[in-house]
Amino acid sequence: MKALYVHIPFCESICSYCNYCKRVPKDALMIDNYINTLKKEKEKVKGPFTTIYIGGGTPSMLNKQQLKSLLSIFENEQPSEYTIEINPESYTIDKGKVLKEYNVNRVSLGVQTFNNEHLKKLNRLHTNEQVFKTISSLNSLGINNISIDLIFGIPSQTKEDLLNDLKIATSLNVTHISYYELSIEEKTLFHLLYQKGLLEPISSDLQVEMYETVISYLKENGFHQYEVSNYAKAIKYESLHNKIYWSLYPYEGLGAGSHGFDGSYRYYHSENVSEYIKEPKVIKEFQTEDVLYADYLIFGLRMMQGVSLERIKSLFNRNPLEDFKELNTFIKDGLLVVEDNHLKPTLKGTFLLNKIVEVFV
């Protein structure tokens, strides 16, 4: 299995909480030049790719012609899962037809919340009407594998607001939900406001209560949790692309801020878009076996299926229960469990995962 990630770093405006690699493009030429660089870079990476994921930024802000040029770079690939991220305000049926023409079979839609006041706070530009229209337009084109991104823990959000978001989300014709907890990251507007005392995050007790609500509400409504922040309507709708990352399979990254992994080395592209267009450079770092072992455990325990003790033995010839004695205490405390030769988090363990994985670093 091998994945390909393609980063489109352009956005129409910047969201208050976002610390991803993104910028508002100078002009249309900048996007054209970026796509030309991606085309040259693609020649340096080798498939076949099990999955392709075009993320951002906002790939849907490309115009129809730019979208065609971008997707034509990958037209000879035959991934089983081919995802693109879309924002509702920049989707059009014509762009949807281009996705269909180039065999994109999965869309990840940036929704975040259905509450207008919170959308404004997050500086998101779309309306709920645009979300509903995008989903029904994609469905009409036969693109039915749709994931939506949502956020909980928005400042001033109440449990009632969250339940309302959950109610609308589960009424939509979508197969997958990524539900992230808002965290206030450096170099964001929220961080600046927080430092000035102008933004009050919700309490940590309410965060935990909200997370519990998300898990139980989605479960009751047919979405099983398969990773800390990800829920699918059936196993076939779990994101294969992400599972490749989390299981330490190799992947390539194209575009500013992207990274790749070949089994021994990780490489990183600079986040500077102009630099990337001029001359994409990568920093390569050798990954020692200890680092890979820790990564495998950290990523693997985020998945409800946990980590396979058998695969750890074949990859590293190690046993984490012997190497990290604290894990046995976590098992006794009901945070972890060993089942079918997999070490996995319990529901209680999911809430304390950050604490658990501290033992690996």
Q: Which residues bind ligand SF4 (CB under 6 A)?
A: 11, 14-15, 18, 20, 22, 56-58, 87, 110
Q: Tokens 């989707």 sit at which residue?
A: 91
Would you tell me how many other CB atoms lie within 10 Å of the CB of residue 111? 28
* Least spacing, CB of residue 95 vs ligand SF4, in Å: 16
Smallest gap from Cβ 55 to ligand SF4, in A, equals 9
Smallest separation (angstroms) from ligand SF4 to the CB of 16 = 9
Please report how close the Cβ of residue 27 comes to ligand SF4 at its closest, in angstroms: 18
Min CB(274)–ligand SF4 separation in Å: 18
Q: Per DSSP, what are the bridge partners of residue 23?
A: 10
In sequence order, the 6+-apart residues with CB closer than 8 A to the CB of 353 are 228, 301, 302, 345
Are 71 and 108 in contact, with CB atoms under 8 Å apart?
Answer: no
* C-alpha–C-alpha distance, residues 5 and 259, integer Å: 8
Smallest gap, in angstroms, from Cβ of residue 57 to ligand SF4?
5
Decide: residue 232, CB within 10 A, 0-12 exposed, 13-18 middle, 19+ buried: buried
Q: Would you say 51 or 58 has its CB closer to ligand SF4?
A: 58
The runs of H, that is alpha helices, within the chain are 28-42, 64-72, 93-101, 116-122, 128-140, 159-171, 189-195, 204-220, 240-246, 273-278, 289-300, 309-316, 320-323, 326-332, 347-351, 353-357
CA 59 to chain centre: 14
Nearer Cβ to ligand SF4 (33/90): 90
CB 297 within 8 A of CB 360: yes
* Least Cβ distance, residue 342 to ligand SF4 (angstroms): 34
Tell me the β-bridge partners of 224.
Answer: 232
CA 224 to mean position of chain CA atoms: 17
Looking at the Cβ atoms of 20 and 324, the one nearer to ligand SF4 is 20
Residue closer to ligand SF4 by CB (options 22, 243) is: 22
175/50 Cα distance (integer angstroms): 20
Task: Find the shortest distance in angstroms from Cβ 257 to ligand SF4.
Answer: 10
Q: How big is the CA angle at 134 (ends 129 and 140), to the nearest 5 degrees?
A: 125
Q: How far apart are CA 58 and CA 265, in angstroms?
A: 28
Residue 20 or 267 with smaller CB distance to ligand SF4? 20
**Could you tell me how many residues make up the chain?**
361
Nearer to ligand SF4, 257 or 345 (CB): 257
Nearer to ligand SF4, 25 or 300 (CB): 25
Q: Which is nearer to ligand SF4, 57 or 255 (CB)?
A: 57
